[in-house]
Amino acid sequence: MTQAFRIENGGLINREKKISFKFNNKSYFGYEGDTLASALIANGVHLVGRSFKYHRPRGFFGAGVDEPYAVVQLYRNGETEPNIKATEQELFEGLEAKSVNCWPNVNFDIGAINNFLKIFLPAGFYYKTFMWPKSFWYKIYEPFIRKAAGLGVASTKHDNERYEHKYEYCDLLIAGSGPSGLAGAYAAAKNGARVILAEDKPRFGGSLLTSDVNIGNQSGKDWAEGIIAELKTMPNVVVKNRSQIFGYYDHNMLVMSEKVSDHLPATKKYHPNKRLWYIRAKEVLISSGSIERPIVFGNNDTPGVMLSSAAKEYLKVYGVLVGRKPLVFTNNDSGYETAIEFKKHGVDPVVLDTRKNPVSEIIDEAKNLGINIKNSYVVVAAQGYKKVKSADIASISEDKKQLGEIENLQCDCICVSGFWTPTIHLASQSGNKTKFKDEIDAFVPGVSKQNETSLGAANGVFTLDETLKTSFKAGSELSKKLTEKDNEIAIPNVVEKKSSQHDKFWCVPLPKGKNYKRFLDFQNDVAVSDVEIALREGYRSIEHVKRYTTLGMATDQGKTSNLNGLQLVSEIENKVVPAVGHTTFRPPYTPVSIGAIVGREVGKHSKPTRKSPMHEWHEKNNAVFVDAGVWLRPRYYKKGNENLFEASKREAKNVRTNVGVCDVTTLGKIDVKGPDAAELLNRVYTNAWLKLPVGKARYGVMLREDGIVMDDGTTTRISENHYHMTTTTAQAANVLSHLEYYLQLVWPELNVNVVSTTEQWAGAAIAGPKSRDLLQKLFPNSDVSNEGLPFMGYIEGDLFGVKARIFRISFSGELAYEVNVESDYGNFMWEKIIKVGEEFNIQPYGTEALSTLRIEMGHVAGSELDGRTIPYDNALEGLVSKKKDFIGKRSLQRSAFTAEDRQRIVGVVPLDKQTSIPEGSHLVKDDKAQLPNPKLGHISASCWSVEYNNPFSLAILKDGKNMIGQKLFAMSPLKNKVIPVEIVSSHYVDPKGERVRS
Amino acid sequence: MLYINCPHCGMRSQNEFSYGGDASVKRPQLNKEISDKDWDDFVYNRKSLRGKHLELWQHISGCRQWIKVERDTATHEIFRTFKADEEVA
């Protein structure tokens, strides 16, 4: 296949290397260095999609980030990505892309019927129409809108690509590698500053790649290449292409998305697809350039109508002609530059200039080349459906209100230039108060709020000479402040052609009797008439106009449409543009892959995985693990074909009859040391702590200041001024912060230090009637009798040469101990316990059995201490001291907390003694009552009682104290269950607590 | 992301810190009678200030010290930071 629109020579592509690709299932080829857009245009393909609302044919409008039309679905290496701009996607071997937003295909799109119904689809149509009847929404309107309004299709597969995050610091960050960015970066680098220069395109140089200028006796492009080459050799400089700085956040933090692999057929092994840089810069130079804006005329969305600067870029960078009979429509000198390039390549353009008699060096050159120029002329409307075939043109009166006789001019593309809009997005995001500059009819940065400086075109400076001078100066002075070095740089001599003043004209009036659609926003099909409707209906704020009409929304965020929209509003409202103001610029400047934002923190990497020192043993012994906070804990140890229920029942039963061992390493542990340690505990816990003797443990409950239980656990007095505090696994970090808060801010006079020791100790809970016998064998030299180590006692022992802490505490309600050794000996301890325990029929038990044991004992845990309960609710009011003050005590006097019918923990047993009650079920008096059925309480935890061999649950129940013996219903609409139940005491097993003391 | 000058460690990014609320709140003394209203003010009632605000942050992934930060809630500008025991003039 020949590339009909590729010129013989020229461009920056590599003609040595052909690249084949597919678009809409048809094969084409392009060259290395092409974008998908340039390669398609070279092949004469101009129809790439359908518009959002009316499904009108869409071509290419720009050549880069501003592209509103050419959004495609990309297929690469078995993956698919939606909403890729063809103008940004570099060509690679085997690339496949498809049009979006058209069905059944781009050439014949059923949705285009909207185009003929467009009278029914003006601004606000969806808002007004789809409101009624209500029942139509889900079945008719919503699916219809979904089908019609979608852009690309997101992949539903797991994304196998890898995305990285990187944190970086620098003196100067420079956004954009055009003339101003290069000059600023170079001057700063020469002063020894740490510089990061970011360019979103693959090629450095910005406008220098396409402009006809000389810097220091070489072409602009060669000068740029020289500067980049030198910067790359400097150790204090990082130069990055394919890297878009898309957000300017607080305190000079900017975020950049680096496309590492998108230009390759497949991501290289160990490489990320994208890398997100968080850059904290001392100074930021914004050299983001400017974007050409269109002039609005009839059917200005027809494929073949494009920005004049884009046509020039396709020609100069890619060697591609956007047409062979170009019409250039301009209100300034930029159009002439494009016309001159066409002419130089043997194509005869026609230039329509809205100005009457402009004079400048550029225009002179065009005239000398014999280019056909028509002054005071405008394009009234483009003709052609899937591609421009001709243009209706007319002369225009000096006041720009009257059109002359309409003439038809054959052409195959219309290159339009309505002057330039500085790219002020980053500056505005930084908090810069932008201002309107009349000379260029656009907003420019004003007063900075952060350390940023806009340079060159981004600052509304459109001459190269001034751009280079100010940029060298800015780079030099800002870096001088930071490095205290001042290496003077000779500013090179610049040769450029002078331009004449542009014309403020931006919108061609409608000829009499014609009702052409004149589009402002090409991606969202927002026409002049839509904005007129919005204003007629009373929308005044530009932010409201934007949302009502969708002007400036979607993936291009109105890069080409915003300013014309403001012009229109200001004209209708009879205001000046700055009085209308612009909508807020928000990051990201361009769409950023969600994958890049998430980075590596996906799936199992979304949080760290912590494992106990005994983890490998658990794995070898068929443990099935469960996430407990960030920890992995054995849920049960599978034997044969057992399921969770069978295994946990077996394990729990063995604890009640023999002895079990459970890995409790994950419990939070805090060392509390200092002469005032007891006083701190006394203030933090609800019960009294001042008289706890050395060698004793005590159970404690701590509250938040609002009286809600924060955490519970045992704390042991190891020595005079040394306590070992335990917390629940989940609350460990919060409790430490809580203690630090009171020690550092509220009671700094207390002489206490706290430090987390969670990871320093490995823990094993040994529970069951035979646990003392086992313990004695493990510690033959220690007295572990009921007298030597009574309930809540603590001793230190020697475990086969390893120093161990032995606590007689119990969560299971059985006679139980907890042995701690230094983490490194955790596995040693575990294996000894299992080995020595064999003769007592020891079995390891997991968290499921642990829950069963605590539930039937009525011991509370996280499901009861859920941030909504006070001590009374958990039957812990006996631990609340009446004598001393403590954190949260005053709140317990609140009337709701002291109400007679206050909620309280109870036990729940199904009447049939068979049906397990789903956790979260509601307790109600009458299962047939009208909805909403008053809820009396909820099931907080459920188990199968191994003691009584029937289901048992705990519940937090209103007036629980007086409900024992009552019959209620547990309802779970989610599981569609209604279970008649009886309320019993929460202490289902061993209510007197004799076993733990035995 | 804010850039906070920890008085103990120097300039650090916000993701090393956790927020701790209004630093001007004083916990009532222990063992002292206090009215319902004063206690409610201490526990619940906070001004949602626009402008300069003295607030607590803990350098949780750093030195673990609680610090005071004078920050503008509207602009995020940070004026000064203090150690926990430093008096704010």
Give pLDDT, residue A145: 55
Give alpha helix (H) positions in A191-289: 220-233
Lookup result for tokens 């070279």: A42
Contact yes or no for B43 and A706 at CB 8 A: yes
Are A284 and A450 within 8 A, CB to CB?
yes
Distance CA A328, CA A346 (A): 15
A167 contact residues in B (CB cutoff 8 A) = 13
Size of interface A-B (CB pairs under 8 A): 54
Give pLDDT, residue A117: 56
Question: Residue A692 to residues A104, A398, A699, A996, B56: CA-CA distances in angstroms?
Answer: 80, 98, 11, 19, 34
Are A164 and A598 within 8 A, CB to CB?
no
In tens, the pLDDT along A398-425 reads 999 999 999 999 999 999 999 999 999 9
Distance CA A41, CA A454 (A): 34
Contact yes or no for B64 and A706 at CB 8 A: no
Is residue B42 less than 8 Å (CB to CB) from chain A? Answer: yes
Q: Which of A165, A248, A745, A892 should be substituted to probe chain B, the one whose Cβ sees the most B Cβ atoms within 10 Å?
A: A745
Question: Residue A724 to residues A132, A694, A888, A985: CA-CA distances in angstroms?
Answer: 65, 11, 23, 32
Give pLDDT, residue A148: 52
Residue A696 token pair: 């004793």
Give pLDDT, residue A49: 84
3-state DSSP percent of chain A in helix, strand and coil, to 5:
30, 30, 45
Contact yes or no for A745 and B2 at CB 8 A: no
Residue A143 token pair: 């699916």
Q: How confident is the model at residue A582 (pLDDT cuts 50, 70, 90)?
A: confident
Give pLDDT, residue A154: 82
Hey, which bits of A308-430 come out as E strands? 326-330, 350-353, 372-375, 377-383, 390-395, 407-410, 413-417, 420-422
Are A695 and A717 within 8 A, CB to CB?
yes
Contact yes or no for A890 and B18 at CB 8 A: no
Q: How confident is the model at residue A137 (pLDDT cuts 50, 70, 90)?
A: low
Contact yes or no for A280 and B3 at CB 8 A: yes
Mean predicted confidence (pLDDT) in A145-162: 74
Q: How confident is the model at residue B83 (pLDDT cuts 50, 70, 90)?
A: very high
Are A921 and A979 within 8 A, CB to CB?
yes
Mean predicted confidence (pLDDT) in A637-658: 97
Residue B7 token pair: 């008085």
**ipTM > 0.85?**
yes
Q: How confident is the model at residue A121 (pLDDT cuts 50, 70, 90)?
A: low
Give pLDDT, residue A892: 97
Percent of chain A whose pLDDT exceeds 90: 82
Chain A: closest CA distance from residue B51 (Å): 16
Query: Is pLDDT at A632 greater than 90 in this prediction?
Result: yes
Chain B: closest CA distance from residue A914 (Å): 46
Q: Of A520, A505, A511, A513, whose CA–CA distance to A393 is shortest?
A: A511
User: Left, alpha or beta for A242 (phi > 0: left; psi -120 to 50: alpha)?
Assistant: left
Are A420 and A292 within 8 A, CB to CB?
yes
Q: How far is CA A380 from the centre of its chain?
A: 44
What H or E segment, with its residue span, contains residue B87? Answer: none
Query: Is pLDDT at A142 greater than 80 in this prediction?
Result: no
Distance CA A521, CA A560 (A): 7
Q: How confident is the model at residue A56 (pLDDT cuts 50, 70, 90)?
A: confident
Q: What is the mean pLDDT of chain B?
A: 95
Give pLDDT, residue A603: 85
In tens, the pLDDT along A801-821 reads 999 999 999 999 999 999 999
Strand A922-924 and strand A967-972: the pairing is antiparallel
In tens, the pLDDT along B36-64 reads 999 999 999 998 899 999 999 999 999 99
Evaluate whether residue B56 is within a structural domain.
yes
Distance CA A795, CA A804 (A): 9
Distance CA A337, CA B44 (A): 67
Mean predicted confidence (pLDDT) in A109-131: 59
Distance CA A179, CA A176 (A): 9
Contact yes or no for B1 and A249 at CB 8 A: yes
Contacts of A664 (CB under 8 A, 6+ apart): A763, A764, A765, A818
Evaluate whether residue B66 is within a structural domain.
yes
Distance CA A860, CA A171 (A): 55
Distance CA A501, CA B26 (A): 65
Q: How confident is the model at residue A557 (pLDDT cuts 50, 70, 90)?
A: confident
Residue A1 token pair: 């296949």
B84 contact residues in A (CB cutoff 8 A) = 744-745, 748
Q: Which residues of A touch B (CB under 8 A)?
A: 167, 249-253, 278, 280, 431, 449, 683, 705-706, 737, 740-741, 744-746, 748, 884-886, 890-891
Give pLDDT, residue A673: 98
Q: How far is CA A203 from the centre of its chain?
A: 28
Strand A420-422 and strand A433-437: the pairing is unpaired
Q: Which domain holds residue B11?
A: 3-25+38-83
Of A69-73, A323-327, A379-383, A796-800, least confident by mean pLDDT is A69-73
Nearest CA in chain B to A741: B66
Percent of chain A whose pLDDT exceeds 70: 95
Contacts of A652 (CB under 8 A, 6+ apart): A660, A845, A849, A852, A853, A946
A890 contact residues in B (CB cutoff 8 A) = 28, 34, 39
Distance CA A772, CA A816 (A): 8
In tens, the pLDDT along A252-310 reads 999 999 999 999 999 999 999 999 999 999 999 999 999 999 999 999 999 999 999 99
Mean predicted confidence (pLDDT) in A926-947: 95
Mean predicted confidence (pLDDT) in A683-706: 97
Distance CA A973, CA A922 (A): 9
Are A148 and A524 within 8 A, CB to CB?
no
Contact yes or no for A280 and B39 at CB 8 A: no
Are A416 and A508 within 8 A, CB to CB?
no
Contacts of A149 (CB under 8 A, 6+ apart): A52, A53
Q: Tell me the domains of chain A and their CATH numbers.
A: 1-160 (3.10.20.440), 163-290+422-486 (3.50.50.60), 294-418+499-516 (3.50.50.60), 518-584 (1.10.10.1100), 899-997 (2.40.30.110)
Chain A: closest CA distance from residue B79 (Å): 12
Q: Of A596, A594, A598, A585, whose CA–CA distance to A247 is shortest?
A: A585
Evaluate whether residue B45 is within a structural domain.
yes
Contacts of B34 (CB under 8 A, 6+ apart): A890, B28, B42
Contact yes or no for A884 and B78 at CB 8 A: no
Is residue B20 less than 8 Å (CB to CB) from chain A? Answer: yes
Is residue B15 less than 8 Å (CB to CB) from chain A? Answer: no
Give pLDDT, residue A157: 87
Are A18 and A31 within 8 A, CB to CB?
yes
Give pLDDT, residue A54: 78
Mean predicted confidence (pLDDT) in A150-161: 81
Q: What is the CATH number of the domain that holds B54?
A: 3.30.2270.10
Q: φ and ψ at A421, to 5 degrees?
A: -115, 115
Nearest CA in chain B to A885: B31
Q: What is the mean pLDDT of chain A?
A: 93
A431 contact residues in B (CB cutoff 8 A) = 75
Question: What domain count does chain B have?
Answer: 1
Contact yes or no for A250 and B76 at CB 8 A: yes
Of A115-124, A475-484, A742-751, least confident by mean pLDDT is A115-124
A705 contact residues in B (CB cutoff 8 A) = 27, 42-43
Query: Is pLDDT at A130 greater than 60 in this prediction?
Result: no
Q: How far is CA A672 from the centre of its chain?
A: 40
Contact yes or no for B27 and A740 at CB 8 A: no
Are A564 and A506 within 8 A, CB to CB?
yes
Amino acid letter for position A496: E
Evaluate whether residue B33 is within a structural domain.
no
Are A905 and A723 within 8 A, CB to CB?
no
Give pLDDT, residue A583: 85
Evaluate whether residue B17 is within a structural domain.
yes
Chain B: closest CA distance from residue A590 (Å): 20
Is residue B25 less than 8 Å (CB to CB) from chain A? Answer: no
A745 contact residues in B (CB cutoff 8 A) = 56, 66, 84
Nearest CA in chain A to B30: A885
Are A656 and A814 within 8 A, CB to CB?
yes
Give pLDDT, residue A552: 84
In tens, the pLDDT along A846-891 reads 999 999 999 999 999 999 999 999 999 999 999 999 999 999 999 9
In tens, the pLDDT along A348-407 reads 999 999 999 999 999 999 999 999 999 999 999 999 999 999 999 999 999 999 999 999
Contact yes or no for B44 and A706 at CB 8 A: yes
Contact yes or no for B43 and A741 at CB 8 A: no
Lookup result for tokens 């769409």: A591
Are A198 and A257 within 8 A, CB to CB?
no
Query: Is pLDDT at A231 greater than 60 in this prediction?
Result: yes
3-state DSSP of A96-112: EEEECCCCECCCCEHHH
Least CB–CB distance from B39: residue in A250, A745, A890: A890
Mean predicted confidence (pLDDT) in A456-475: 97
Of A120-129, A313-322, A462-471, B68-77, least confident by mean pLDDT is A120-129
Is residue B78 less than 8 Å (CB to CB) from chain A? Answer: yes
Q: φ and ψ at A12, to 5 degrees?
A: -105, 15
Query: Is pLDDT at A662 greater than 60 in this prediction?
Result: yes
